[in-house]
Chains A and B, each alone.
Chain A
């Protein structure tokens, strides 16, 4: 049914009353045309205080209810938004399965305004972008910040957020949290046992051997059910060994990107850990089970990100003292120095272009990027946001201290990758293959060849939109 702008819901229904049932049946024969009416509804007037022209329609927000829970949205972000727009009703929702719940809403043409598209089952950004579902957030970057009318939002956040949020040349995805990846351990356990943080891979292997021999706990584990937790340190290591271009080539689907020498080194290194030092049963456990095992001192180290501390807050012993260290030096001639980190904006917020009130969605993001909102968020969920200086003068936890020190040490030596957000089938293949690599079902060479094959397949698949980065 073609809709014209300015048509009200009531009129729409009355109009539909004229359509005979037979007509409705015929309409079934093709997917519904997304109702364009909503987003093109006349926006309210814009002003410096209301740069996007927020109207009076409700604002629907969906939060991924994972490591950070949903309270931050309900108790921090939404009240702040409400303080300015008391007349806009906020419909707050949370789910652990973003795709399952929201994909049909997109397909149905009535997506919610704001979505925290995160978690193990986030929606494919590539598909959303390809279908024009992502609101161009460039106006948000150029709007004055919530705190200071003379500073643009663009200048209050890390540049990497803008780089990574680009889809088809438009800034469309706002990573809110600065995820810092590394190997996590208990500072107390290391202190008590006299274990040192390994600076080289040989030291790391020696440490694993020491821990194994001590019989106190297993050396290493990862969320075996979700092998993406392991390809993260593997890719970071490859970047450290072979330089940032290793990851750039992988993202750009370059020929042989996965089978490069640096990737071979990294895959071989981790396969050895998989063969020798994994906690028993690792491959069948999920992130929470392995992390809880670490809290119970059954395993010493695991790869994770800076959300870990908050995710585990109920099971972590008071004196556990989370700490994080970066990937050690591998070859002695690594292209990137010790301390190189994988940092990546995460908790990806999007505004649906075809929602009823995208203006309010953008304004909601602007409120989230205020110093107060970001600072309160960090205090509540013990994680750094992408807002510069938001945690100044606030109490932070041992894990955040450790992670932010690592970030400071890394300086400009940070890397990231985006292929898993762009190419869902490639992500699935890498997940499946990484699990096999770690359980010994695939040799490092076969492992890389397999993922390379999938990457080539995607490259040659005209129905999948391709992305480039630098």
Chain B
């Protein structure tokens, strides 16, 4: 009896497999082959980096694909402590957390007003923001440095927002994220129905309350997608922190990685470089994999609006 069942099960599995193969056809095989090739193209460099991160210095310099004789976890200790990857990562997290929050708060406020409140100068302000999309940031770098430096001379708040401060960098990130954020969010706010907000106004709700309690929740999909865009964009920033943060303990992760890559040439510590790369890559991949559904749908809904 039991053999009978297992026989049937095996048989039906076999049939199903054959069925699939028949349906797949040569084109289906090619399809999978193409997809598989790109999968390898994406994964192999990343996995190779992971592999090199547990190799010794000598092993890294010999055959590229040899397996390590023993796993050198101390590479990670060196990357974390001596190369301060931990510190840089923390800095990045702090800066991006505040700057993304600030960007979304201020950006959605501006976008909402510009989208829903006609007033004299509305169009001009909107265009001012949107035109920023086309400005190359490199033109502004040098003067920006002085602007931030001068901000450091302001009374009371100066010391907190000048050069070498995370708050200063946060403000800069927010400002430079405005064009993109305002452009997409105001488009989004325009598509939302007006009835609910108007009804609330009739009931005596203030403009501010309508925004925070009605419109913002309605705009959730758009908000999420622009938030993800901003997190990615600000996390990846290299150019702005490069000129605004000179003190090592303030650096963000991208600067730390680029620095280790230069330093590896002098210190002859390539294994620590690979470990640092792994430390920079792995958390991002894990976070992304966990939230991939939200991230993908969020990103595309924003871009398609």
Interface of A toward B, CB cutoff 8 Å: 1, 13-14, 16-17, 19, 21, 24, 27-28, 31-32, 65-67, 95-97, 100-102, 104-105, 107-108, 286-289, 292, 311, 314-315
Q: A13-B158, A24-B154 are in contact. Are A32 and B265 (CB under 8 A)?
A: no
Min CB distance, A400 to chain B, in Å?
A: 21
Q: Does B146 contact A (CB under 8 A)?
A: yes
Q: B268 near A21 (CB under 8 angstroms)?
A: no
The answer for the CA separation of A108 and B152 in the assembled complex, in Å, is 11
Q: A16-B158, A24-B154 are in contact. Are A288 and B146 (CB under 8 A)?
A: no
Q: A100 near B242 (CB under 8 angstroms)?
A: yes
Chain B 150-180 interface mask (CB, 8 Å, partner A; 1/0): 1101111010000100000000000000000
In the A-B complex, list the 6 residue pairs whose CB atoms are closest, starting with the nearest.
A17-B155, A28-B147, A286-B265, A108-B149, A288-B265, A101-B246
The answer for the CA separation of A108 and B259 in the assembled complex, in Å, is 22
B149's partner among A17, A32, A289, A311 (CB-CB below 8 A) is A32
Sample (18) of A-B pairs whose CB atoms are under 8 Å apart: A13-B155, A24-B150, A24-B153, A24-B154, A32-B146, A32-B149, A65-B266, A101-B246, A104-B145, A104-B246, A108-B163, A286-B265, A287-B265, A288-B265, A288-B266, A289-B265, A292-B61, A292-B268
The answer for the CA separation of A14 and B268 in the assembled complex, in Å, is 49
A315's partner among B143, B154, B268 (CB-CB below 8 A) is B268
Residues of B within 8 A of A66 (CB): 266
Min CB distance, A333 to chain B, in Å?
A: 41
Q: Does B125 contact A (CB under 8 A)?
A: no
Min CB distance, B270 to chain A, in Å?
A: 9
In chain B between 259 and 290, which residues have their CB closer than 8 angstroms to a CB of chain A? 259, 262-263, 265-266, 268
Q: A13-B155, A32-B150, A104-B145 are in contact. Are A314 and B263 (CB under 8 A)?
A: no
In chain B between 37 and 81, which residues have their CB closer than 8 angstroms to a CB of chain A? 61
Q: A107 near B145 (CB under 8 angstroms)?
A: yes
Q: Does B243 contact A (CB under 8 A)?
A: yes
B146's partner among A1, A19, A31, A311 (CB-CB below 8 A) is A31
A96's partner among B151, B243, B259, B268 (CB-CB below 8 A) is B259
Q: A13-B158, A101-B246 are in contact. Are A1 and B265 (CB under 8 A)?
A: no
The answer for the CA separation of A104 and B245 in the assembled complex, in Å, is 10
Residues of B within 8 A of A31 (CB): 143, 146
Residues of B within 8 A of A107 (CB): 142, 145-146
Residues of B within 8 A of A96 (CB): 259, 262-263, 266
The answer for the CA separation of A355 and B153 in the assembled complex, in Å, is 18
Task: Name which of A32, A287, A311 has the most chain B CB atoms within 10 A of its CB.
Answer: A32
A104's partner among B154, B243, B265, B266 (CB-CB below 8 A) is B243
Q: A31-B146, A288-B268 are in contact. Are A16 and B259 (CB under 8 A)?
A: no
Task: Name which of A14, A16, A101, A104 has the most chain B CB atoms within 10 A of its CB.
Answer: A104
Q: Which residue of B lies closest to A102 (CB)?
A: B246
Min CB distance, B125 to chain A, in Å?
A: 17
The answer for the CA separation of A27 and B154 in the assembled complex, in Å, is 11
Q: Which residue of A lies closest to B244 (CB)?
A: A104
Residues of B within 8 A of A32 (CB): 146, 149-150
Q: Range of interface residues on chain B? A: 20 to 34
Q: Which residue of B lies closest to A93 (CB)?
A: B248
The answer for the CA separation of A32 and B142 in the assembled complex, in Å, is 11
Q: B150 near A28 (CB under 8 angstroms)?
A: yes
Q: Which residue of B lies closest to A100 (CB)?
A: B242
Residues of A within 8 A of B153 (CB): 1, 13, 16, 24
Residues of B within 8 A of A13 (CB): 153, 155, 158
Q: Which residue of A lies closest to B262 (CB)?
A: A96
Residues of A within 8 A of B268 (CB): 288, 292, 314-315
The answer for the CA separation of A247 and B96 in the assembled complex, in Å, is 52
Residues of A within 8 A of B242 (CB): 100
Q: Which residue of B lies closest to A15 (CB)?
A: B155
Residues of A within 8 A of B154 (CB): 16, 21, 24
Residues of A within 8 A of B143 (CB): 28, 31
Residues of B within 8 A of A287 (CB): 265
Residues of B within 8 A of A1 (CB): 153
Residues of A within 8 A of B263 (CB): 96
Chain B 226-260 interface mask (CB, 8 Å, partner A; 1/0): 00000000000000001100101000000000010
The answer for the CA separation of A19 and B263 in the assembled complex, in Å, is 43
Q: Which residue of B lies closest to A18 (CB)?
A: B155
Q: Which residue of A lies closest to B61 (CB)?
A: A292
The answer for the CA separation of A102 and B268 in the assembled complex, in Å, is 24
The answer for the CA separation of A287 and B266 in the assembled complex, in Å, is 9
The answer for the CA separation of A314 and B266 in the assembled complex, in Å, is 11
The answer for the CA separation of A53 and B208 in the assembled complex, in Å, is 62
The answer for the CA separation of A97 and B158 in the assembled complex, in Å, is 28
The answer for the CA separation of A286 and B149 in the assembled complex, in Å, is 36
The answer for the CA separation of A17 and B155 in the assembled complex, in Å, is 5
The answer for the CA separation of A105 and B268 in the assembled complex, in Å, is 29
Task: Name which of B61, B145, B265 has the most chain A CB atoms within 10 A of its CB.
Answer: B265
The answer for the CA separation of A103 and B186 in the assembled complex, in Å, is 40
Min CB distance, B159 to chain A, in Å?
A: 9
Residues of A within 8 A of B61 (CB): 292
Q: A67 near B149 (CB under 8 angstroms)?
A: no
The answer for the CA separation of A27 and B268 in the assembled complex, in Å, is 46
The answer for the CA separation of A21 and B150 in the assembled complex, in Å, is 11
Q: B163 near A104 (CB under 8 angstroms)?
A: yes
The answer for the CA separation of A359 and B294 in the assembled complex, in Å, is 60
Q: Which residue of A lies closest to B154 (CB)?
A: A24
Residues of B within 8 A of A101 (CB): 246
Residues of A within 8 A of B158 (CB): 13, 16
The answer for the CA separation of A24 and B266 in the assembled complex, in Å, is 43
Residues of A within 8 A of B142 (CB): 107
Q: B150 near A27 (CB under 8 angstroms)?
A: yes
In chain B between 103 and 143, which residues have their CB closer than 8 angstroms to a CB of chain A? 142-143
Residues of B within 8 A of A105 (CB): 246
Q: Which residue of A lies closest to B243 (CB)?
A: A104
Min CB distance, A7 to chain B, in Å?
A: 13
